[in-house]
Amino acid sequence: MAEGNRFNHTMKFNVKAEEEANEARLVLKEVYEALKEKGYNPINQLVGYLLSGDPAFITSYKNARSTIRKLERDELLEEMVRVYLISELEKER
């Protein structure tokens, strides 16, 4: 495919298996709780980490920094988008 045409087509993205989604959910929950316990705004800190990739946004308390680095940022985003969209679509029904 020519370089100029690649943006004219929809690319397919495969979502991970349920087991991997559960791992992402667990990681997010553990990190969220550690940030909250330390007095940080977990949403702000997670957004900072997800956008920049800088682990300094995540506390080392309760091993949260090591925990979040077990998964790629795209895996964490995938889970967050999946849960959000399912939740919002259920509200409409």
For 14-23, the pLDDT digits (tens) are: 655 666 678 9
Token couple for 39:
């007095």
pTM of the entire predicted model: 0.76
How many percent of the chain have pLDDT more than 70? 84
Token couple for 85:
């969209």
Say whether pLDDT at 1 is over 60. no
Q: What is the per-residue pLDDT across 24-57, written as a single tens digit (0 to 9) for each? A: 999 999 999 999 999 999 999 999 999 999 999 9
Domain extents for the chain?
Answer: 15-92
Q: Count CA atoms closer than 13 A to 81's CA, side-chain side.
A: 9
